[in-house]
Amino acid sequence: RSAIHVSASSQPDRIWIMDQLNYHLMSLNLRTGKYSKISNLTGILNFEQVDEMKEYGNELFILDRSKGLYRFDLYGTLISYFPQDGCLAFAVQDGNAMILKKDGILMIDMESEEEQNLHLPIPEIIDFSVNGSSFYFRTVDKIFRYKLSLNK
């Protein structure tokens, strides 16, 4: 278990820092050295641990693989929580949160909270990334690229 997680921000002079030992989430301005801190966030939200932390579209997402995905605004206020166990990784694109699980990807419309399960094209995926209509899947020894095309 890592004590500190760091995530880049969409603002070039800011980073996010999660201190799991002291249960603080901090937003640090690299230009001024000033930071804002939210104390006991882990205790309040009952995190097991922070496994992944990323910022997308001026929102911060924190994944706890055993609890689910948490979505915060830039001030550290919880916007929504998507409870899921067995999460491996996540990505966010076009208003959708995508959570990789052993048996597929759970796609959640963040506005309506509608869920859709996508089956994986190959077994034993341990991580993934999305860029436009391309999905990149990583297994232990290979990376695969698939294009998503919707038939209308």
Comparing C-alpha atoms, which of 47, 58, 10, 56 is closest to residue 25?
47
pLDDT confidence band for 51 (50 / 70 / 90) = confident
**What's the mean pLDDT when you consider all of the chain?**
86
Task: Assign 77 a pLDDT band (cuts: 50, 70, 90).
Answer: confident
Q: Is the model's pLDDT at 150 over the cut of 70?
A: no
DSSP conformation letters of 58-71: TEEEEEETTTEEEE
pLDDT band at 128 (very low <50, low <70, confident <90, very high): very high
Total H helices, total E strands in the chain? 1, 15
Tokens 């055993």 label which residue?
Answer: 66
**How confident is the model at residue 99, as a pLDDT?**
96
The order of strands in the sheet holding 14-19 is 4-8, 14-19, 24-29, 35-39
Integer-rounded Cα radius of gyration of the chain: 16
Average pLDDT of the residues in 75-95: 91
* Spatial separation of the C-alpha atoms in residues 108 and 100, rounded to whole Å: 11
Asked if 143 and 111 touch (Cβ cutoff 8 Å), the reply is no
Hey, which residues does 106 pair with through a beta bridge?
A: 99, 117
Handedness of CA 100, 101, 105, 111 (dihedral sign): negative
Q: Which of 2-6, 24-28, 61-65, 129-133 has the lowest mean pLDDT?
A: 2-6
The answer to whether the beta carbons of residues 49 and 20 sit under 8 Å apart is: yes
